[in-house]
Structure 1
Amino acid sequence: MKIFYCSNCQAQIFFHNYICNNCQHPVGYVPALETMMTFKKTEKGWQSLDENGLYFKACKNYQDYHVCNWMIDIHENTDLCESCKLTTVIPDLHEEKNIEYWAKLETAKRRFLYMTQRLKIFPRAKKNPDDHLGLSFQFLVPTDDQPVLTGHANGLITLNAFEADTVYRETTRISMGENYRTLLGHFRHESGHFYFDTLVQNSKWIDEFRQLFGDERIDYADSLKHYYENGAQENWQENYISAYATSHPWEDWAESWAHYLHMISTLDTAFYTGMSIQSQHPNNPELKFKDCPVCSADFTLTIKNWFALSYSLNALNRSMGLSDAYPFTLSDKVINKLHFIHQILLENINKKSIDTMNGFTWKN
């Protein structure tokens, strides 16, 4: 993620901020400009405090509930920002705890959407239930009579709102035998199913997909049943990023997609913070950037930098008595899968003009 600064006092502001912690001016993210901005409230609207002095209005969920910090052009005929438009169902706000869950879910969703902007695959909202090229989210609270399963179906991503509760999520992580489970990870994984449908299925990439991930046409329900009854195959680490990835080619793709986003987003932040790692031993990896890692043409360097960064992050965490920040191993076959995802996105991001494909509209 890029580094943002307050245009009033030049202090650093963060993607999730509502105010500048130094000068106390309101701040917000302007998706059309892909940047955080500082504002003063006027009768005409929220005026940016940069040299342009542009006017915006805050998303309704910013003003009413403080669960969003995205801004809207003053002339737009809408009360919801580009992120909040994608959420169609939220928890019952009469329950105070649900506002906290909703806020955490939206925060994770916006961070996920930020990278889709950088990759030029920001989704549009579904026009109707049968519109498989649009994407929508629903955040549901389970009850004793109606459990909620996190998942994706035809462009609708459902998340169990209890995943926003740290204790619930950690308990589920342990019971499921997972070494990593986050709200942001849920968005990245479930979006993988959506982007498979829109970027890979019925495209020129499908044959190569089947060579790398397997034939997705095998029965999904039977595959999941076999996985939950028998677990992952022996030595799964040689071919898959996680045990769950072994259950079906769709899940292998979704897990690999999520890990690609983990990797690129973290490297992107490292790049913009000016991080580098100079090895103190010839056998240790180094972190050196030639350019921004978001769809860099040099994927080999991207992987080398990821090894260096994740190795160092894990070592630092261990020094503080914490679990590994990135508790995964990338085999050669997993790297090939990540490279495949990279190639698809690189082709998209390198388009030279305004274009539309599979429901996405982007501009370089």
Structure 2
Amino acid sequence: MKLFSCQSCGQVLFFENTHCERCGHRLGYCTETGRLLALEPNADDNGWLAVGIDAQAPTRFLCTNAEYDVCNWLVPEGSSDALCMACRYNHVIPDLNKEGNQELWRSLEQAKHRLFYSLLLLNLPIPTRAENPTGGLVFSFPEDPENGEEKVMTGHDEGEITIALREADDAEREKMRVEMGEHYRTLLGHFRHEVGHFYWNILVRDAGHEDACRAMFGDHTQDYGAALQQHYENGPPAGWEEHYVSSYATTHPWEDFAETWAHYLHIVDTLQTAVSFGVAVSPTVAQDGSLSQSFNFDAYGAASFDELLVAWPPLTLAVNALNRSMGQPDLYPFVITPSITEKLRFVHDLVHGLPLPPVISAPQ
């Protein structure tokens, strides 16, 4: 994630900011330019005008969901939609008449907007339901039924991504994380994982890459329900860490792909953050320079996965050490083995439209 600056006063701004803390200007994220703009009201049409170097830009409008303090994005220029690029994909939102639901929705939207930030930078297709009625992307955030029936399950089904509302409750999510023995469970992680299933449909199935994906992740035609049941009954196989980025990835090739996809987005966005902060890692005890790394490249636009792979370990070692110094568990409790590296490289190549590994047929 990039850092931003106020065009009016130069104050450092963060992605979720709605107002500049120094000069008080309203802020709006512009998807066309990838910038957080300082705004002034235009009394003529109830819209907003960008200030500073963008003073000649046309009147812009905040997303309707800004009214609920859950969105700080601008409606794209020339759009007749009242919702921004991210909010227009919503299908089911929480009941805002219930106390606390607006705060939970805000947490969901912050994670979803970060997801869309990445999808837009990667120039990935984002078909709507209007464009693809049977597989376009939509999001639903339902809450569990009050009558004690089975809880809402987070998941993906032909373009519809469901994130259970309780996942936005930090205490509930942490409880589930511990009960399920997960090292890592976050709202943003859910969004990145579930959209991985969506892009398996778009970039693998519909693009004719199933054989290449099968060669890398395994046979996705195996019974998913049976695989899921076996995973929850027996857990991951011994030695799974060598080939899978998480224990859940061992469940089924679809889950392996989605977990790897999510992990790739974690890497790219975190590296962009390091670049934005001008981070440099150069521990003096590593005299051979093996852990020295400066971050000054475009992580989202990296032509080769090797560029990301070289930069990633020094950064994760540093942030883990910082967390331990604060008495916190490792921020990055993962090990990228050669096998996992090739899976991440596959996702990178798929995202950037690069040639995938050749499929080698078994001898007859």
Task: Tell me the TM-score normalised to structure 2 length.
Answer: 0.91
2-side partners of 1:338 and 1:211: how far apart? 14
Change over 3 Å in CA distance of 1:91–1:128 after alignment to 2: farther
Give how far 1:347 is off.
2.0
Q: Which residue of 1 aligns with 2:193?
A: 189
Unaligned runs of 5+ in 2: 355-364
Q: Distance in 2 between matches of 1:288 and 1:242?
A: 28
How many Å separate the matches in 1 of 2:14 and 2:297?
22
Instruction: Summarize the Cα distance change of 1:20–1:33 in structure 2 as closer, same or farther, 3 Å threshold.
Output: same
Q: Which stretches in structure 1 are left out of the alignment for 5+ residues?
A: 349-364
Cα deviations by residue, 1:215-260 (Å, 9 ceiling, x for unpaired): 1011111111111111100010011011110010000000000000
Cα-to-partner distance string for 1:296-327 (whole Å, 9 max, x where unaligned): 12322311210010111001100110111111
Match of 2:115 among 94, 112, 117: 112
Which residue of the partner structure matches residue 356 of structure 1? none
Deviation at 1:52, TM superposition (A): 3.2
Output aligned runs, 1:239-254, within 5 Å.
239-254=243-258
Amino acid at match of 2:71: C
Aligned to 2:92: 89
**Which range moves more in the overlay, 206-215 or 250-259?**
206-215
Letter in 1 for 2:239: N
Equivalent residue letter for 1:156: E
Larger relative contact order (Cα-Cα within 8 Å, sequence gap ≥ 6): 1
Structure 1 residues 46 and 150: CA distance shift in structure 2, 3 A: same
Q: Quote the Cα distance in structure 2 between the aligned partners of 1:209 and 1:197.
A: 12
Q: Distance in 2 between matches of 1:203 and 1:47?
A: 42
| Cα 1:73–1:297 shift into 2, 3 Å | closer
Q: CA deviation at 1:152?
A: 0.1
AA of the residue aligned to 1:14: F
Q: CA deviation at 1:74?
A: 5.9
Pair 1:73–1:193, CA change in 2 (3 A) = closer
2:171 is the alignment partner of 1:167: yes
Q: Percent identity?
A: 39
What amino acid is aligned across from residue 249 of structure 1 in structure 2? P
| Match in the other structure for 1:47 | 49
Amino acid at match of 1:50: G
Aligned equivalent of 1:80 = 83
Q: What secondary structure does 1:58 align onto?
A: coil
1:139 to 125, 138, 141: 141
Cα distance in 2 between the residues matched to 1:16 and 1:80: 17
The letter of the residue matching 2:264 is Y
2:345 is aligned to 339
Equivalent residue number for residue 322 of structure 1 = 328
- Provide the residue aligned with 2:12 in structure 1: 12
Query: Root-mean-square deviation (CA), in Å?
Result: 1.6
Within-5 A mapping of 1:187-336: 187-280=191-284, 281-282=286-287, 284-289=290-295, 291-336=297-342
Q: Are the structure 2 counterparts of residues 79 and 97 from structure 1 closer, same or farther at C-alpha, using a change threshold of 3 Å? A: same
Q: Which amino acid aligns with 1:46?
A: W
**Residue 71 of structure 2 corresponds to which residue in structure 1?**
68
Change beyond 3 A, Cα 1:122–1:29:
farther
Amino acid at match of 1:344: L
- Residues 43-74 of structure 1, C-alpha deviations (whole Å, 9 max, x = no match): 23200003332210111110x21111011146
Offset at residue 277 of structure 1 (A) = 1.2
